[in-house]
């Protein structure tokens, strides 16, 4: 058993040291501004660094390779560890935050969900607001790395469709994996810097520009004000739309474009489908808002596009309370919640490629009904898709909705109404952020929920972020045999 856990604990130790270093950024910010959170970040950094050092020194090895079982463990343990470490400054610092709320805020941040239990954000210390943004930024980077290097290797939910040479965790492949990590970090940082500049040039303060850029590119959605993005003008909203869309696209494509700057490098069926769906949904909602006189035409286009992009990329920003747009809007945004962005992006949700594969599979089944002896292949990005990838995607979809049902029922048992239970479960599993209804809607907050409901939602957020199977496999007897 020690052999199974030793490499996993070593990686967790390295991540602890990374988190300890990140905590010094808000600590310095707090020291410069002389706010009350400075010592909480310093103390949390020391505790996290000590724990990380102990794990690294006690579990280091000359040879580093991970088996599939260890990768499953590492994926789940590392996200839990990051969530716990991220909660420490909230526990030791802000007096109004209890352990449950601190862990909830941290899990929501590191999984880039964006659900919050905090209110009065505009009056909180900048160090605390910056820490929330950093949690989402590092979580978004982790999501990309997991999607391009770990989940395809583990054949999770059809992700083998995106397997590359870097989806290999043997000794000989680690240099290639390290190179990919550096390229991803570079692209991620460049897009974040461009987003900061875009926000700042359009009128945001430098602090707001940095904080919102970190949570826009990571499609996390934490804001620095209870009004979310509702206090900004249309220019800033369109900047946000652009970078939320970039955050919802595969980052491997951006790396490919950097090495070969041509339109062909960006050609991808998943991206095309993603942009078409966004455009169609935005047009439908814009016409609806104009028809019922909610906004003038340009404002209707801006509000519709911004909130649709925010939900479909699972960012979770809100420029207004769209649940007040009538019954059609409630149903509309509820179903948009499930779609998600592209695989290899920072977005959550079910992912565009699974909908595309499901359509192609259905189309093939219809043709086979007409021509039972026919042989029909499914092509995706010009390559034939093997049946096991289709079956894996279908299994994921079934498990997703089964989990949604059980999570909703458990939340209802804690005393929540059906709207809050259903949309709370949905927004946690898809990592969107706001739900629907008076309590957790776009203008609401998760603070009124019971501690039990919050812990259930924490687990659901981790399940959704890790594509369900990565965690659920740990609860099966077959995983622990042998």
Please state the domain extents for the chain: 2-247
Task: Give the pLDDT confidence score for residue 5 in this predicted structure.
Answer: 80
**What band does 388 get if pLDDT is binned at 50, 70 and 90?**
confident
Angle of helix 38-59 relative to helix 2-33, nearest 10 degrees? 160
Least confident of 283-292, 349-358, 387-396: 387-396
The stretch 175-201 carries a mean pLDDT of 89
**DSSP string spanning 90-151?**
HHHS-TT--HHHHHHHHHHHHTT--------GGGS-HHHHHHHHHHHHHHHHHHHHIIIIIH
pLDDT of residue 328 exceeding 60, the answer is yes
**What band does 173 get if pLDDT is binned at 50, 70 and 90?**
low
Q: Give the model confidence (pLDDT) of 232-276 as tens digits.
A: 999 999 999 999 999 999 998 998 888 778 777 778 899 999 999
Q: Give the model confidence (pLDDT) of 127-155 as tens digits.
A: 999 999 999 999 999 998 888 878 877 77
Task: Give the pLDDT confidence score for residue 95 in this predicted structure.
Answer: 66
Contact 458, 87 (CB under 8 A): no
Q: How far apart are CA 277 and CA 271, in angstroms?
A: 10
Q: State what percent of residues in the chain have pLDDT above 70.
A: 94
Q: State what percent of residues in the chain have pLDDT above 90.
A: 67
Task: Give the pLDDT confidence score for residue 180 in this predicted structure.
Answer: 81
Task: Give the pLDDT confidence score for residue 166 in this predicted structure.
Answer: 52
**What band does 106 get if pLDDT is binned at 50, 70 and 90?**
very high
Task: Give the pLDDT confidence score for residue 176 in this predicted structure.
Answer: 65
The H or E element that residue 16 is part of is helix 2-33
Global pTM exceeds 0.85:
yes
Task: Give the pLDDT confidence score for residue 167 in this predicted structure.
Answer: 52
């Amino acid at each position: 058993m020690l052999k199974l856990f030793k490499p996993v604990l070593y990686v967790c130790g390295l991540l602890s040291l990374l988190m300890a270093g990140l905590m010094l950024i808000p600590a310095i910010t707090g020291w410069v501004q002389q706010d009350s959170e400075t010592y909480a970040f310093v103390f949390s950094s020391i505790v996290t660094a000590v724990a990380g050092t102990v794990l690294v020194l006690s579990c280091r090895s000359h040879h580093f390779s991970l088996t599939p079982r260890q990768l499953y463990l590492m994926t789940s343990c590392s996200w839990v560890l990051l969530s716990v470490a991220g909660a420490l400054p909230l526990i030791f610092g802000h007096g109004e935050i209890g352990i449950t709320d601190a862990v909830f805020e941290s899990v929501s941040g590191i999984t880039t969900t964006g659900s919050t239990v905090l209110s009065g954000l505009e009056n909180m210390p900048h160090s605390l607001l910056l820490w929330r943004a950093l949690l989402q930024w590092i979580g978004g980077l982790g999501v990309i790395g997991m999607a391009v290097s770990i989940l395809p290797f583990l054949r999770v939910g059809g992700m083998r469709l995106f397997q590359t040479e870097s989806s290999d965790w043997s000794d000989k492949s680690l240099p290639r994996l390290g190179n990919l990590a550096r390229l991803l970090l570079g692209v991620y940082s460049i897009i974040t810097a461009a987003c900061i500049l875009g926000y700042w040039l359009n009128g945001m303060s430098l602090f707001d520009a940095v904080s919102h850029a970190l949570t826009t590119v990571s499609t996390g959605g934490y804001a620095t004000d209870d009004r979310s993005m509702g206090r900004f003008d249309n220019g800033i909203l369109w900047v946000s739309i652009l970078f939320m869309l970039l955050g919802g696209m595969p980052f491997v494509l951006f790396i490919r474009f950097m090495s070969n700057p041509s339109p062909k490098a960006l050609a991808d069926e998943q991206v095309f489908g993603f942009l078409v769906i966004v455009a169609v949904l935005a047009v439908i909602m814009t016409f609806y808002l104009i028809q019922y006189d909610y906004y003038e035409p340009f404002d209707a286009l801006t509000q519709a596009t911004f909130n649709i992009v925010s939900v479909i990329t699972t960012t979770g920003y809100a420029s207004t309370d769209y649940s007040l747009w009538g019954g059609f809007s409630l149903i509309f945004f509820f179903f948009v919640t499930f779609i998600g962005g592209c695989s290899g992006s920072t977005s959550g949700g079910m992912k565009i490629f699974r909908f595309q594969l499901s359509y192609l599979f259905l189309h093939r089944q219809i043709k086979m009904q007409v021509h039972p002896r026919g042989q029909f292949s499914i092509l995706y990005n010009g390559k034939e898709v093997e049946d096991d990838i289709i079956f894996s995607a279908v299994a994921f979809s079934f498990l997703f909705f089964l989990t949604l049902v059980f999570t909703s029922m458990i939340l209802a048992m804690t005393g929540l109404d059906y709207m809050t239970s259903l949309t709370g479960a949905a927004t946690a599993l898809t990592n969107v952020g706001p739900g629907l209804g008076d309590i957790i809607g776009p203008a609401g907050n998760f603070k009124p929920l019971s501690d039990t409901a919050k812990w259930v939602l924490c687990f659901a957020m981790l399940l959704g972020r890790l594509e369900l199977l990565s965690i659920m496999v740990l609860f099966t007897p077959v995983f622990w045999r042998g």
